[in-house]
Amino acid sequence: MRYYRVPNEAVRRLPVYLRGLFTLSEDGHESTSSKKLADLIGVTSWQIRKDFSYFGDFGTRGVGYNIKKLIKEINKILKLDTGHKAALVGVGNLGSAVLSYPGFKMYGFELATAFDADPDKIGKTINNITIEDTCKIKELKKRKVVIGIIAVPRHAAQETADALVSAGVKAILNFSPCYLTVPKKVKIITIDIAMDLARLPYYMRAS
């Protein structure tokens, strides 16, 4: 742990390492080497070791890494060990899929509430979560929700972001296909499937 600046790319890869370690753990492994993990997830062993080195010494020379310990360490680095409450806004097709997404629990998140503007949806329950009126977003602060998930139509996305920020969320996962402006203190990550889809043909061989 001798570095002062951690590359963004290294942080981006940590969850990928975590996913690989989960797989190894499920398959009954107790320890691994950087090489074994690397082959499993499609990167190089020195990339993994370098990335870890930004945060500390997690392995044993000549031996490798203890998987349970490593998972714990990465969870700590990513602050996934403290539990975070999240709120979904927009229960359409995509929002519904998000509601039933099993990945939240795996990474220590709790999907606490869901909001929608459609009166027909308000009051209904999906996956044990009752959909509330969007105007109640302001109550999130009381409920200690720190993460907002936006899955509303594009034209409503910015106002939703503003409402979530006012309600005190510290991070936003944005599924609406647009760039959103938020204060610097709020971290926002936008996911738009189309952005990945649209560059597939570029890489397609002519055949």
Instruction: Give the interface with DNA as residue ranges (CB under 7 A).
Output: 1-2, 5, 7-10, 32-35, 44-47, 49-50, 52-53, 57-65
A 10 A CB-CB count for 205 gives 4
Integer angstrom CA distances of residue 95 from 11, 98, 191: 26, 5, 13
From the list DNA, a copy of itself, none, pick the one residue 120 interacts with, judged by a Cβ distance below 5 to 8 Å according to partner type: none
Residue of 49, 53, 107, 133 interacting with a copy of itself (CB under 8 A): 107
Cα–Cα dist 37/47, whole Å: 11
x-or-dash string of contact with a copy of itself, 52-91, rule CB under 8 A = -------------------------xxxx-x-x-------
Q: Which is nearer to DNA, 66 or 96 (CB)?
A: 66
CB of 6 to DNA, least distance (A): 8
Residues forming beta bridges with residue 145, ordered by sequence position = 85
Q: Which stretch binds a copy of itself (CB under 8 A): 14-22, 63-71, 115-123, 157-165?
A: 14-22
The site partner of 156 among DNA, a copy of itself, none (C-beta below 5 to 8 Å per kind) is none
**Binding-site member from 64, 94, 112, 129 for a copy of itself (CB under 8 A):** 94
Q: Which strands form 125-126's sheet, in the order they lie side by side?
A: 125-126, 129-133, 109-116, 84-89, 145-150, 171-174, 187-190
Q: How many helices (H) and strands (E) does the chain have?
A: 9, 9
Residue at 47: amino acid letter: Q
The option from DNA, a copy of itself, none interacting with 52 (CB < 5 to 8 A, set by class) reads: DNA
Residue 31 β-bridge partners: 66
Q: Is 142 in the site for a copy of itself (CB under 8 A)?
A: no
